[in-house]
Chains A and B, each alone.
Chain A
Amino acid sequence: MAELSNALGTAASRTRFVGLRRLVRRLPPTAKVGAAILLFWIVTVLTIHFWPVADPLAMVGRRLQPPSGDHWLGTDALGRDVFSRTLHGSVWSIPIAIVVVAFAVAIGSALGAVAGFFGGWWDAVIMRLVDVTVSFPPILLAMAVAAMLGPGLANASIAMVIVWWPIYARLMRAQVLEVREREHVEAAVAGGAGRVRVLVVHVLPLCWTPTLINATMDFGQVVLLAASLSFIGLGATPPSPEWGSMISEGATRFYNWWIAFGPGMAILSVVLATSFLGDGLRDAFDRRAG
């Protein structure tokens, strides 16, 4: 861990751009494939309205047609184009995963930093809260929270932030505990800097590497859990083309396998992409440190 943050420290003293380019060059090919897949989905989210694909909510063909030249992934029970719906599904899943990871990182890191830096009661209270939260099996906690708040993607997102923040609290706390002991922090304290200033200016900038790697990997897991919640009826509601609810529409029609095929592959591509990229990032940071 010490090496990791040292590496980031030296990286920060170079220009950021060169550091980033070196990092990308060190990524293994699988990580680059992962990054490309994620980039594809993000571009899709931003530009899907201009794509020459069918309206995802409109009946565009006969019901339950298998894949064909007109409908690459067939049509569903309402005659909607599954290929178009799969592409449009990213507009739900990808932004939600970004928001959930961002909130989990922000809340978890803030609380973890406070716990690690100030210690004492702050530490005791925050870390006991973490202990209790991670005592729940993730899916059951998410289901309980989502059920209490009522179905809907916004509530499912809140549930997922509640599931994920403790991971980042623990990561950040461990990093802060470690960086806090460094000499430059001691120097800053001796120089009369306030506690909050020391934390924000001298400690936090050196603590982000593990969080970044973890957030990359969690991104896919969030997409997966969001789809799971929608699948069991706690996330997106029909007729929105969310991947999980599309699969649940397909679940009652075994013979029409193509209804669920597209969204399943889409989820798989995101999860694989983030684990490739996350693995690659971890190795790249490790090597830079070693």
Chain B
Amino acid sequence: MLAYIVRRLISIPFLLLGVASVSFLLSQMTKGDPLAALVPERMMSNPEIVEAVKAEWGLDKPLPVRYVRYLGNLIQGDLGTSFSTRRPVATDIAERLPATLELVIAAMIIGTALGLCLGLLSARFRGSAFDSLARIFALIGSSLPIFWSGLILLYLLSVRIALVPGTGRLPPRVQPPPTHTGLYTIDALIAGDISLFWQALAHLALPAFVLGWAVTGIITRLVRSSLIEGLGQDYARTARAKGAPERVVLIGHALPNAMIPLLTILGFTFAYLITGAVLTEAIFSWPGIGSYAVRAAASLDYPAIGGVTIVGSVAFLLANLLTDIAYAWANPRIKVH
């Protein structure tokens, strides 16, 4: 197993190089002229200005030179400069990453908690009306276009009954807490500002639920099927024979065994979360890297979209690596090729 983990670790740099190369090639194959994004239209006729801009952004060098330069910059953590914000992409991303993290972590917590509860109850009352309802709820969550469910829930819960506040991370004109972690809820607690904490939490609740709902389906399905499998095993029969009530068999015996497969679908749900986060942030005006990517894609800001793609891929690769390691660790019988 150790050999397997080492092999996976060795493959990571090569995959990253591949990801970087594809990103670079994509940015070079662009049909739109990046100059158009840099030079105001009326200055396009002035060759001196055009040449100066080309030199400044390295657009005048041949392809291989730009590729080597690109990789060199990347290793130093330089993702280039955004055409639209005129700031380093790495700075932009670092500034917006906590917002995305807060959203994704909250969504993961909601999705896992909801999925576990629904899975547990479905397995306990298998075949009942609740079981069918839970299955439908989970199925709809993973089939809904997230940008639509977000919109409809925003209308129902915010516009119609004002249960939750509108878009954004905080009400307008409210100062965010002093930065420690960048997560507004945590920072507000650190600052001891309880009312700010509730405000931040209220703004977080709906987008996190919308995003969490999307992964609830996967988790519910998995928990339900592995619990039901566990309830048919010998250890469950033994526990019942010794007089344990069904509740204890389920929670004390079957549930711990169901945690292992749950652990191993982390990477799978992470892909859903990234996709969902991009769209959720767009709907809820959430100032994270997802909405940054959407804006960058719409304004043909190649360095920015390339930077987000690379950061997202690194996170994705790490999540998959952790999943594989967890899988190998939890199930040593699996032979990995």
Q: Which residues of A contact B (CB under 8 A)?
A: 128, 131-133, 135-141, 143-150, 220, 224, 227-228, 231-234, 244, 247-248, 250-251, 254-255, 257, 260-261, 263-264, 267-268, 271-272, 275
Contact between A232 and B15, CB atoms less than 8 A apart: no
**CB of A23, distance to nearest CB on chain B (Å):** 23
Question: Do the beta carbons of B147 and A231 come within 8 Å of each other?
Answer: yes
B148 at the interface (CB under 8 A from A): yes
Complex interface: chain B residues within 8 A of A224 (CB): 145
Q: A143-B297, A148-B26, A231-B282 are in contact. Are A136 and B19 (CB under 8 A)?
A: yes
Q: Which of B23, B147, B149, B279 counts the most A-chain CB atoms under 10 A from its CB?
A: B147
> For residues 17 through 38 of chain B, which have their beta carbon under 8 Å from a beta carbon of chain A?
18-19, 22-23, 26-27, 29-32
Min C-beta distance of B92 to chain A, whole Å: 15
B19/A135 in contact, CB under 8 A: yes
For B15, what are the chain A residues with a Cβ–Cβ distance below 8 Å? 131-132, 135
Q: Which residue of A lies closest to B270 (CB)?
A: A137
Contact (Cβ within 8 A) A147 B152: no
Interface residue B317 (Cβ < 8 Å from any Cβ of A): yes
Query: Which residues of chain A are near B155, meaning CB under 8 Å?
Result: 254-255, 257
Contact B305 A228 (CB under 8 A): no
Bound: A150/B32 CA distance, A: 7
Q: Is A146 within 8 A of B297, CB to CB? A: yes
- Contacts A227-B145, A228-B279; A147 near B151 (Cβ below 8 A): no
Q: B317 touching A232 by the CB < 8 A rule? A: no
Is B194 positioned at the interface, with any CB of A under 8 Å from its CB? no
Residues of A within 8 A of B140 (CB): 268, 272
Q: Of the candidates A136, A139, A268, which one forms a contact with B145 in the assembled complex, judged by CB atoms under 8 Å apart?
A: A268
Q: Which residues of B contact A136 (CB under 8 A)?
A: 19, 22, 309, 312-313, 316
Shortest beta-carbon distance from B286 to chain A in Å = 14
- Choose one: A138, A251, A272; the contact of B139 (CB below 8 Å): A272
A255 near B279 with CB under 8 A, answer no
Closest-CB distance, A252 to chain B (whole angstroms): 10
Q: Is chain A's interface secondary structure helix, strand, loop, or mixed overall?
A: helix
- Least CB distance from A170 to B in Å reads 12
11 more CB-based (< 8 A) A-B contacts, given A128-B18, A131-B11, A268-B145: A128-B14, A135-B18, A136-B316, A140-B309, A140-B312, A148-B29, A227-B145, A228-B147, A228-B275, A234-B298, A257-B155
B190 at interface by CB-CB < 8 Å: no
Q: Which of B143, B154, B274, B296 contacts A137 (CB 8 A)?
A: B274
Leading 7 A-B pairs by shortest Cβ distance: A132-B18, A264-B148, A271-B143, A147-B297, A137-B274, A139-B275, A148-B30
Taking residues whose C-beta sits less than 8 angstroms from the other chain, chain B's interface range is 35 or more
Most buried by A among B16, B274, B309, B317: B309
Q: Which residues of chain B from 294 to 309 have a CB within 8 Å of any chain A CB? A: 294, 296-298, 300, 302, 305-306, 308-309
22 of the cross-chain contacts (CB-CB < 8 Å) are: A132-B22, A135-B313, A137-B275, A138-B275, A140-B274, A140-B308, A140-B309, A143-B278, A148-B29, A228-B275, A228-B279, A232-B278, A232-B294, A244-B145, A247-B148, A247-B151, A254-B158, A260-B151, A260-B152, A267-B148, A272-B140, A275-B139
Minimum CB distance partner of B314 in chain A: A135
Q: Tell me the nearest residue of chain A to B155, going by C-beta.
A: A257
Given A131-B15, A251-B283, answer yes or no on A228-B145 (Cβ-Cβ < 8 Å).
Answer: yes
Q: Closest CB-CB distance, A173 to chain B, in whole Å?
A: 12
For A136, the closest partner residue in chain B by CB is B313
* Chain B 148-171 near chain A by CB (<8 Å), digits 1 or 0: 110110110011000000000000
**B105 interfacial by beta-carbon distance below 8 Å:** no
Nearest CB in chain A: distance from B138 CB, A: 12
Answer whether residue B271 sits at the interface, using C-beta atoms and an 8 A cutoff: yes
Known: A138-B271, A232-B297, A247-B151. A264 touches B283 (CB 8 A): no
Query: In the complex, are the beta carbons of B148 and A135 less than 8 A apart?
Result: no
Hey, which chain B residues are within 8 Å of A227, CB to CB?
A: 145
Task: Check A143 against B305 for contact (C-beta < 8 Å).
Answer: yes
CB-CB under 8 A from B9, the residues of chain A are: none
Per the bound structure, the CA–CA distance linking A147 and B34 in Å amounts to 12
Q: How far is the CB of A242 from chain B (nearest CB, A)?
A: 12
Task: For A144, list chain B residues within 8 Å (CB).
Answer: 23, 26, 297, 305-306, 309
